[in-house]
Amino acid sequence: MDQPTKTGRLLVAAPMLREDSFRRSVVFVVDDTPEGTLGVILNRPLGLPVAEVVVDWGVLASEPAVMFSGGPVGTGSGIALGAAGPDGPPPGWSPLEGLGPAAALAGVGVVDLDDPAPPNGGSLDGFRVFAGYAGWSAGQLDGEIGQGAWYVLDAVAADVFTTDPEGLWSRVLRRQGGDLALLSTYPDDPGLN
């Protein structure tokens, strides 16, 4: 039986996932196919201003206007996400494939940084650039989910362009209610409890 797509959803690291690259990470899934899954980590700001890397696009970057570490794969390349503004998307913007009824993400897509930046940023309501990405081969992510390493949760555009990336992990878990909300208070180092 086919699994529903994870495109446009969040992978929230369970506290047991202690690997440095993914500890307390929130990954936005950009593409999920039978061949594998690609996403970007939303809560790893790098401190390097976007304007120093992609000069023309820097003025459009959502706060904090810095590059983000998208993940441990392909760190020499970039992926940009943008939310189309009320006048429609800029040239080079592509919607995420297979979102289905994810109305909360209807305007979020991938931006081609090789195209010129839109003048005055008028056609983007949110914009973020990621160095690298997180990737899983066919079946790998489902195996990790089955082992309890990730929670697959619904995303909203505010997650992708959050102004408080450091608080995103707790915030996403808290809004789920129940046991996941309780988990949002889990100490970073349980040994210090």
Consecutive 10-residue runs of the chain (193 residues): their mean pLDDT?
79 92 96 95 96 92 97 94 86 80 76 85 86 97 96 94 97 94 77 52
CA angle 176, 188, 170 (to 5 degrees): 25
- For residue 121, what pLDDT is reported? 58
* pLDDT in the model for residue 33: 93
> Three-state DSSP class for 46?
strand
**Helix, strand, coil percentages, rounded to 5, for the chain:** 25, 35, 40
pLDDT confidence of residue 6: 93
**Amino acid, res. 157:** A
Distance CA 29, CA 83 (A): 15
How much is the pLDDT for 18?
85
| pLDDT at 1 (0 to 100) | 43
Q: Is 126 within 8 Å of 42 (Cβ atoms)?
A: no
pTM of the predicted structure, to 2 decimals: 0.92
In this prediction, residue 175 carries a pLDDT of 95
